[in-house]
């Protein structure tokens, strides 16, 4: 019997709505990755590509979720954390920042903020980015990072204290200065999200 017809089946076609999703969310994912990596643009691009690859293989299910964009952000953060765990045994501490663009409205603040973010432990950095850049609640951040709400509050307070020591008054005093309230970050233009946004 001729078994020539048992050749490998053709690859499943790309869902037509996935490329549009990747294009529409790609820039925001890249900005988030840029903050997570402490300003390493090349690593940020790699993380976004890996995250989108993970999303693609489950896209038919993900596309039916209420908030595919939020799910994509969670995948990106977990991709970053898993990368950090893989690198933790071989990386060396350095005070040299990677090459980054500094053509924003406040280059000095941009570099200072990226340096401060880069000095934080990876999970603390992820907490700050989700809370104050992604504007997630404590509970949403806890779910994304598989932490308790108490752990998120503790990490947030500790990370903010370290950031404040570096940035001083530029960080602002709203939202969680006296402890995490459990709600979302404030939306005042001078709050911490605005400070994070100024690095992009």
Report the C-alpha gap between 51 and 65 in whole angstroms: 17
Question: What pLDDT shows up at residue 50?
Answer: 96
pLDDT digits (tens, 9 = 90+) for 97-126: 444 444 445 677 778 888 888 889 999 999
Question: What pLDDT shows up at residue 176?
Answer: 47
Length of the chain equals: 200
Question: What pLDDT shows up at residue 167?
Answer: 75
pTM over 0.95: no
Of residues 147 and 189, the one with the higher pLDDT is: 147
Closest CA to 31 of 46, 45, 50: 45
pLDDT digits (tens, 9 = 90+) for 154-163: 999 999 888 8
Distant-in-sequence contacts of 81-87, Cβ < 8 A, 24+ apart: 81/122, 81/123, 81/126, 81/145, 83/43, 83/47, 84/122
Question: What pLDDT shows up at residue 178?
Answer: 42
């Amino acid at each position: 019997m001729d078994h020539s017809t048992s050749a490998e089946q053709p690859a499943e076609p790309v869902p037509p709505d996935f490329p549009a999703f990747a294009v529409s969310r790609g820039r925001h994912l890249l900005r988030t990755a840029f903050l997570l990596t402490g300003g390493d643009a090349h690593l940020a691009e790699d993380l976004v590509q890996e995250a989108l690859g993970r999303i693609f293989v489950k896209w038919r299910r993900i596309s039916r979720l209420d908030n595919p964009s939020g799910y994509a952000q969670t995948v990106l953060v977990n991709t970053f954390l898993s990368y950090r765990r893989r690198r933790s045994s071989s990386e060396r501490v350095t005070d040299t920042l990677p090459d980054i663009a500094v053509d924003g409205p406040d280059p000095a603040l941009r570099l200072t903020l990226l340096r401060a973010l880069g000095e934080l432990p990876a999970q603390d950095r992820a907490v700050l980015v989700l809370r104050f850049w992604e504007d997630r609640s404590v509970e949403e951040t806890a779910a994304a990072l598989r932490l308790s709400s108490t752990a998120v509050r503790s990490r947030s307070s500790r990370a903010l204290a370290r950031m404040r020591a570096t940035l001083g008054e530029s960080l602002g005093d709203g939202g969680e200065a006296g402890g995490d309230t459990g709600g979302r970050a404030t939306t005042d233009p001078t709050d911490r999200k605005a400070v994070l946004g100024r690095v992009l």
